[in-house]
Amino acid sequence: MIRANLLPRPKEHITFFGLSLNGERLREALLGLLVVLFVALLGIGIELIRLQRLQGAASDAERFLSAQARERAEAKSLALDVARYQEYSREAQAMRDSGARAAVAIARIGNRTPAHVWLDSIAPTHQGYGLTGQSKSIDSLGIAVLSLGRALPGERAALVSTEHHEGDTLRFTASITNTDPNPTPGTSSL
């Protein structure tokens, strides 16, 4: 014969500081709280281990960087030297180009100077060239200014001053300027 107790178990009540609590529910709540506490502690432990590893890696990286400080300083110095030498190279190229442009401009000025007009000096200015010289007559000087003004499009020649000297010599000062407000790089002044 088998006996079974089909009657519900009597409910336990626990009294705590004047509070009456259901024992079974209290056990379930405490078990749930313990599970949550265990999971939280496990997560905190994992995060602490991760944090420790990250701190170790950061300290290793700092040691590596401090060990490489001299090489980085040398590389930075080398990069600055390379930049300076590149600037020197660009300036030298510009000077080479400007010398060629100046030679072409002086040749064109000389070729445009008519007979009976002599140039004493050709000096570069901010926007072109300044000229000083002598002429046999005012007519030759006018022809020279017109000829120099038509040497290239965008250039303008102007007579700055004249002065009559002994004999038939007429001394003059003239300028040749670029009238283009935005000259293209690499083009000559004349």
The domains of the chain are located at 89-178
Task: Check if CATH label 3.40.1350.10 holds for domain 89-178.
Answer: no
pLDDT along the chain (190 residues), means of 10: 68 71 82 95 96 94 89 92 92 76 81 87 84 89 86 80 82 85 47
Show the DSSP H helices in the chain as ranges.
23-67, 69-112, 138-149
The amino acid present at 28, given as its one-letter code, is E
pLDDT at 181: 58
Q: Is the dihedral of CA 117, 122, 124, 125 positive or negative?
A: negative
pLDDT at 165: 73
Please tell me the distance from the alpha carbon of residue 99 to that of residue 93, in angstroms, as a whole number.
10
Find out whether 110 and 144 touch, Cβ atoms under 8 Å: no
pTM for the full model? 0.45
Give one DSSP letter per residue of 100-133, joined into a string: HHHHHHHHHHHHHPPTTEEEEEEEE-SSEEEEEE
pLDDT at 9: 67
Cβ contacts of 77 within 8 Å, gap of 6 or more: none
Please tell me the distance from the alpha carbon of residue 124 to that of residue 106, in angstroms, as a whole number.
10
pLDDT at 185: 41
DSSP character at residue 162: E
